[in-house]
Amino acid sequence: MTNQTKISGVLLNKQPIRYTPAGIPLVSFVLQHQSQQTEAGMRRQVMCEVQIMALAEIALVADQLQEGSPIQVTGFLAKRSMKSTQLVLHAINIEY
């Protein structure tokens, strides 16, 4: 089964770096995306905000980025936590 997502946009609402109980760096932020897509043969304006979570060395990269920076994130979708139903994109690569 495949679970891979790639999306580009602007970095918003970056939270300060924090660390898991195991000492792994973690940075959360929002990616604001805007594009035109084709659906059912029609052009459609798409605007959305995606919650992103970056861990380990990717968190250190995200921590250096400034809000408003254009970025592209590749990762996988997973629930925010075991108790949550909210999906979050877990970053495995950030290009800027």
pLDDT tens column, 16-63: 999 999 999 999 999 999 999 999 999 999 999 999 999 999 999 999
Using 50, 70 and 90 to split pLDDT, how confident is the model at 81?
confident
Q: Tell me the residue range of the domain where 85 lies.
A: 5-95
User: What is the domain count for the chain?
Assistant: 1
pLDDT given for residue 3 in this prediction: 97
Tokens for 49, please give them: 């905000």
pLDDT given for residue 58 in this prediction: 98
pLDDT given for residue 30 in this prediction: 98
Residue 21, domain CATH: 2.40.50.140
pTM of the prediction?
0.90
Which residues have a Cβ under 8 Å from the Cβ of 53 and sit 6 or more positions away?
26, 27, 28, 80, 88, 89, 90, 91
Mean pLDDT of the chain: 96
